[in-house]
């Protein structure tokens, strides 16, 4: 409990020598380091909670923050910021603030108490679950910055959220769906209870007055279920009728609507039977199925919004000696910003000064922090863990890696797999066929036994509802997509999963795919005596600035590079350009020419060889080495165990490719391939009825990727934006590839199970119902159980685990 004289009683930080602030706790005068700690300590004492200091296990999280940061919040008083982060009316303004550093319910109590006591604040509500503070204040009496400053001085890290971040459309959809589900479920339970009374009455006899009463009560409860909970079905059915594409909602709506109306009629005309119980049960199970399907859909959205909510709202921009806090939306490429330890990085860029460890888990799934120093790239959304750095911004907003990942996951959401579209079309025909069947049944029974015609037609409509059929595929794809994104696989093309499940062959590129694509120059040999090794490296570095090829990165040099004009990139071959009036080329032996092919047999033949030539004469030879990705061996073994044929196609020289293939046990390999040759290898395999999955880095082999049946890219960083691959693997390891194949096979297996189940069920249920053997309530249970089975079966995919 007691702290030494020179540390703060509250937060245990050293007390500045010129600071004479103290606080009275339990009769003792205790030193504190800043007014913030004093305020917190007094608040705790005045609330009778001094015992906290006796019981706590560690000092409170650092309340005392550097003084220059208290002025940081004034930027939020500017009109544009207020417009962006608050919703104001004539007298008061409201904002949602994410409160960083909250650990428990006591924190939310502390924040609420502090804020509601302060001048001008009308309401402050903190949700300890979401760490969000909803605060309402009178701008005439206090300012936004004072509220933020108050939070900051309590030791929390407030982060105002823009209104669109707080009211996400899928959140509203979920709320409405929950309400409908509840109305349907409570309604069903109540009506069931009354139905038990009514059925018992049928057997034991019931007072007609009581029967009428129970029916009226059932009607009262069923009405909100039909009019509120079942409204989406009626709306969708109506849309289907207007667009002449009737969906499964049409028979549902006819069944629910007609049973409801007929029951009302029976209630008031003292008819033989009412079907309120069947109606509510039917609506409840349908709503439950829709709810589960919606949740599967939302999980995939959650990830992309999680991605965009990690960016900070403000950044400290440095203009010469000036430091100003600006909203992140105002940052431009070329700006320099200061990033403190613990802050999220606001944009993509390179470090200009300082060094630190950066947590990139969000982008690559890589849990170990990476050490970064001057000149290293940092990505928006990653967290600066321990050092103070300044960075120059290269890309902002949606151009960043983070923005691209979000955009790619969006793309997958909006492309409907052809498989699903097909199922929808078929469902539409099935619905029409069912309506015809129902009409035939109705007419037949009207001729045989008119009093049973309505009940039997109702059962037919309910029992044959093709809900299970319509849910079978989309539910499985949604569940698979969200699980894959958790496993660091971004599916950007809705058709990819189906195509992958039928793949027979996997072709790998070498550089940047099987290897990390971070090559370094292992040795240099200069043939021209007039030049030094350094000269060659400088010229090569200057030329390679034009290339995005992974090998080009090996040449980057921290030096002043000579000027290059008319740079041209020959994909898969090399770069040419003019330096000091001479034509230089850097690239493969064939590209550089001039005897390069002869010397390539010398030295370390297994390395990747890059040549530098001038005016058709080879002058230098660089041997590049590249590290293999982690888990390559195991991944390839598992892929071949899955029955896939593995081939290596590389633009690299024969020896390097052969050595790698031998090391990894790949039987088939092609070396020295141009992109055109790679493409023709794929096409030859396709003519052989093989379905080829091409795995590449996504940039240099873009034409090759597009030629394959499915493409998987290992791209990262800035290159992500340019890739058009169907699936993108995040992170260094190659092992998600195995997961991808297993998952797609499993997904299609579940789709097939679902479709089989739905068809078998309908084929069995229809004749039974048409024969009058299925009462409406049983029909409702049967149909609902069949859709629930389909959805639950699909949701098994979201628990897919990678077998160890």
Partner 1 sequence: MSVLYVLIPLGLLLLAGAVWAFFWAVGSGQFDDLDTPAVRIIMDDDTKPDDGAP
Which residues contact partner 1 (rule: CB under 8 A)?
7, 11-14, 56-62, 103-104, 127, 129-130, 171, 174-175, 178-179, 182-183, 186, 190, 194, 207, 210, 213-214, 217, 220-221, 295, 299
Return the SS3 of 82.
helix
CB of 58 to partner 1, least distance (A): 4
CB of 183 to partner 1, least distance (A): 6
- Closest by CA to 595, choosing from 525, 545, 543, 534, is 525
Six token digits for residue 360? 């990139």
CB of 764 to partner 1, least distance (A): 35
Count CA within 13 A, CB hemisphere, residue 210.
11
Looking at beta carbons only, is 100 or 767 nearer to partner 1? 100
Pairing state between β 645-649 and 617-625: unpaired
Looking at beta carbons only, is 229 or 632 nearer to partner 1? 229
Structural element, H or E, at residue 763: helix 736-770
Q: How far apart are CA 394 and CA 469, in angstroms?
A: 49
Is 765:774 a contact under the CB 8 Å cutoff?
yes
Is 608:550 a contact under the CB 8 Å cutoff?
no
Q: How many other C-beta atoms can be found within 10 angstroms of the C-beta atom of residue 125?
A: 14
> How long a stretch of residues is the chain?
804
Looking at beta carbons only, is 178 or 764 nearer to partner 1? 178
CB of 303 to partner 1, least distance (A): 12
Looking at beta carbons only, is 12 or 759 nearer to partner 1? 12
Looking at beta carbons only, is 295 or 392 nearer to partner 1? 295
Looking at beta carbons only, is 280 or 404 nearer to partner 1? 280
Looking at beta carbons only, is 687 or 799 nearer to partner 1? 799
Six token digits for residue 190? 């109540």
CB of 266 to partner 1, least distance (A): 19
Q: How far apart are CA 253 and CA 256, in angstroms?
A: 5
CB of 170 to partner 1, least distance (A): 10
Looking at beta carbons only, is 58 or 140 nearer to partner 1? 58
CB of 64 to partner 1, least distance (A): 11
Apex 316 CA angle, 314 and 321, nearest 5: 155
Looking at beta carbons only, is 303 or 392 nearer to partner 1? 303
Q: How far apart are CA 591 and CA 593, in angstroms?
A: 6
CB of 795 to partner 1, least distance (A): 13
CB of 306 to partner 1, least distance (A): 11
Q: How far apart are CA 572 and CA 651, in angstroms?
A: 7
CB of 165 to partner 1, least distance (A): 13
Return the SS3 of 595.
coil
User: Residue 455 contacts by C-beta under 8 Å, 6 or more apart in sequence?
Assistant: 273, 275, 772, 775, 776
CB of 28 to partner 1, least distance (A): 21
Looking at beta carbons only, is 129 or 242 nearer to partner 1? 129
Looking at beta carbons only, is 210 or 763 nearer to partner 1? 210
Looking at beta carbons only, is 58 or 530 nearer to partner 1? 58
Looking at beta carbons only, is 183 or 286 nearer to partner 1? 183
Report long-range pairs for 268-276 (Cβ below 8 Å, ≥24 apart): 270/208, 270/212, 272/451, 273/455, 274/198, 274/215, 274/218, 274/219, 275/455, 275/458, 275/776, 275/777, 276/191, 276/194, 276/195, 276/215, 276/218, 276/219, 276/221, 276/222
CB of 643 to partner 1, least distance (A): 36
| DSSP class per residue in 162-221 | -HHHHS-HHHHHHHHHHHHHHHHHHHHHHHHHHHHHHHHHHHH---HHHHHHHHHHHHHH
CB of 74 to partner 1, least distance (A): 27
Q: How many other C-beta atoms can be found within 10 angstroms of the C-beta atom of residue 253?
A: 21
- Closest by CA to 189, choosing from 104, 74, 276, 63, is 276
């Amino acid at each position: 409990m007691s702290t030494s004289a020179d540390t703060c009683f509250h937060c245990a930080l050293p007390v500045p020598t010129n600071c004479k602030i103290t606080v009275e706790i339990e009769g003792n005068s205790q030193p504190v380091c800043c007014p913030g700690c004093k305020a917190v300590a007094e608040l705790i004492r005045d609330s009778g909670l001094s015992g906290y200091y006796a019981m706590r296990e560690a000092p409170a999280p650092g309340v005392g923050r550097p003084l220059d940061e208290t002025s940081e919040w004034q930027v939020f008083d500017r009109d544009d910021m207020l417009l962006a982060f608050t919703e104001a009316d004539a007298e008061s303004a409201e904002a949602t603030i994410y409160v960083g550093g909250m650990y428990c319910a006591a924190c939310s109590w502390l924040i609420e108490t502090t804020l509601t006591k302060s001048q001008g604040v009308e309401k402050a509500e903190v949700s300890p679950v979401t760490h969000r503070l909803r605060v309402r204040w009178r701008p005439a009496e206090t300012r936004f910055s004072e509220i933020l400053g108050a939070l900051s001085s309590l030791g929390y890290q407030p982060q105002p959220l823009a209104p669109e971040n707080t009211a996400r459309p899928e959140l509203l959809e979920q709320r409405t769906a929950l309400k409908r589900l509840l109305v349907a479920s409570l309604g069903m339970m109540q009506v069931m209870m009354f139905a038990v009374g009514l059925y018992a009455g049928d057997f034991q006899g019931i007072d007609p007055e009581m029967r009428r009463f129970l029916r009226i009560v059932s009607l009262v409860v069923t009405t909100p279920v039909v009019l509120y909970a079942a409204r989406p079905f009626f709306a969708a059915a109506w849309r289907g009728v207007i667009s002449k594409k009737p969906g499964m909602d049409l028979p549902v709506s006819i069944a629910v609507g007609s049973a409801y109306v007929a029951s009302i009629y029976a209630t008031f005309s003292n008819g033989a039977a009412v079907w309120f119980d069947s109606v509510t049960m039917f609506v409840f199970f349908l709503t439950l199925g829709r709810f589960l399907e919606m949740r599967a859909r939302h999980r995939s959205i959650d990830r992309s919004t999680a991605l965009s909510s990690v960016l900070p709202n403000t950044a400290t921009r440095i203009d010469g000696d000036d430091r100003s806090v600006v909203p992140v939306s105002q940052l431009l490429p070329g700006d320099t910003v200061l990033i403190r330890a613990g802050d999220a990085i606001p944009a993509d860029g390179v470090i200009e000064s300082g060094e630190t460890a950066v947590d990139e888990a969000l982008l690559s799934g890589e849990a170990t922090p990476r050490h970064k120093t001057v000149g290293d790239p940092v990505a928006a959304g990653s967290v600066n863990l321990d050092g103070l750095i300044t960075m120059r911004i290269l890309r902002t907003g949606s151009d960043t890696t983070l923005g691209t990942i979000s955009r790619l996951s969006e793309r997958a959401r909006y492309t409907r797999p052809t498989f699903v579209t097909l199922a929808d079309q078929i469902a539409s025909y099935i619905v029409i066929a069912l309506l015809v069947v129902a009409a035939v049944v109705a007419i037949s029974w009207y001729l045989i036994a008119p009093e049973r015609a309505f009940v039997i037609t109702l059962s037919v409509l309910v029992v044959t509802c093709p809900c299970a059929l319509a849910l079978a595929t989309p539910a499985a794809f949604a569940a698979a997509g969200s699980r894959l994104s958790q496993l660091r696989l971004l599916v950007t093309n809705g058709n990819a999963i189906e195509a992958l499940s039928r793949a027979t062959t996997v072709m790998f590129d070498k550089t940047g795919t099987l290897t990390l694509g971070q090559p370094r120059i292992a040795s240099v040999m200069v043939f021209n005596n007039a030049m030094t090794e350094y000269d060659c490296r400088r010229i090569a570095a200057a030329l390679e600035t034009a290339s995005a090829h992974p090998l080009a990165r090996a040449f980057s040099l921290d030096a002043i590079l000579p000027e290059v004009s008319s740079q041209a990139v020959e994909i898969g071959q090399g770069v040419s350009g003019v330096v000091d009036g001479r034509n230089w080329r850097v690239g493969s032996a064939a590209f550089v020419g001039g005897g390069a092919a002869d010397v390539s047999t010398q030295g370390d033949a297994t390395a990747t060889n890059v040549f530098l030539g001038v005016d058709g004469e080879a002058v230098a030879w660089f041997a590049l080495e590249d590290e293999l990705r982690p888990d390559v061996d195991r991944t390839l073994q598992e892929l071949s165990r899955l029955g896939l044929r593995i081939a290596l196609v590389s633009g690299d020289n024969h020896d390097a490719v052969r050595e790698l293939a031998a090391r990894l046990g790949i039987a088939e390999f092609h070396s020295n391939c141009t992109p055109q040759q790679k493409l023709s290898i794929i096409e030859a395999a396709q003519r052989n009825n093989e379905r080829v999955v091409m795995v590449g880095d996504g940039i240099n082999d873009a034409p090759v990727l597009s030629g394959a049946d499915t493409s998987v890219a290992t791209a990262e960083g800035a290159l992500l934006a340019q890739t058009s691959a169907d699936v993108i693997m995040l992170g260094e390891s190659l092992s998600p590839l195995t997961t991808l194949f297993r998952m797609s096979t499993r997904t299609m297996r579940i789709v097939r199970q679902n479709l089989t189940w739905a068809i078998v069920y309908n084929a069995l249920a229809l004749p039974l119902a048409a024969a009058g053997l299925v009462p409406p309530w049983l029909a409702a249970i049967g149909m609902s159980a069949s859709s629930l089975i389909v959805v639950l079966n699909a949701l098994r995919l979201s628990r897919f685990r990678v077998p160890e």
